[in-house]
Copies of this chain bind each other. A is one copy, B any other.
Amino acid sequence: MNETMTKIAAGLEKAFAARGFAEPSVEDLRNAAGVSLRTLYKYTPSRDQMVHVALNHRHLRYLDHIFTDLPTDHAAALNAIMDRVGTWMQHEASHGCLFHAAVAAAPDDADLRTLLEQHKSQVADRAVNATGLHGTQVDILLILEGLTQSWPLYRDAAVTSAKRLGALLQNNS
């Protein structure tokens, strides 16, 4: 039961990340999930639900990748976060943030929008705590968003830039 659900969620996440939210048909999603159509619809009774399940899975994996076992020193933690965003982009999200992509594909879906906001605010909270940049939640999220969006263009240079901007914040707050 739960094992099948995890398998489905992981497969859906991978499919949406690779091909966007508009393109893959339910048949494609079924292939990616590696289950039958009946089972897929049993766990995710509509295509919209498949999107939600994929994003939830994504959220947990992202938090785990970026924020697990960070150094306690604030400056070192900031550098580590930026590096990890870089490796995340490289291996998982070469097309940009999956949450923004989902909302962009269905701008009228209010549930999706709240999912995006929850994801971003949790990321910002954790980043603030790890870097000691209290009172500058907006700034740190702005840098993270900027890194995520400009990484496809500039790669490592974007990571370096995000580190520099974050350090400027830490030295001027």
**Which A residues lie at the B interface, using CB under 8 A?**
18-23, 95-97, 100-101, 103-108, 117, 120-121, 136, 138-139, 141-150, 153-154, 157-158, 160-162, 164-165, 168-169, 172
Q: CA of A81 to CA of B71 in the docked complex: distance in angstroms?
A: 37
Count the copies.
Answer: 2
Do A23 and B106 form a contact, CB below 8 Å, given A138-B154, A146-B149?
yes
Q: CA of A106 to CA of B160 in the docked complex: distance in angstroms?
A: 29
| Interface pair B149/A105, CB less than 8 Å apart | no
Across the interface, which residues of B come within 8 angstroms of A121, CB to CB? 153
| Interface pair B18/A107, CB less than 8 Å apart | yes
Nearest Cβ on chain B to A26's Cβ, whole angstroms: 15
Across the interface, which residues of B come within 8 angstroms of A120, CB to CB? 150, 153
Task: Sample 23 A-B pairs with CB under 8 A, ordered by A number.
Answer: A19-B108, A20-B104, A21-B105, A22-B105, A23-B106, A96-B100, A97-B149, A101-B101, A105-B105, A117-B153, A120-B153, A138-B158, A139-B161, A141-B146, A141-B150, A142-B143, A142-B147, A142-B165, A144-B146, A145-B145, A149-B149, A165-B169, A168-B169
Which of these, B21, B100, B143, B157, contacts A146 with CB under 8 Å? B143
Q: CA of A123 to CA of B8 in the docked complex: distance in angstroms?
A: 41
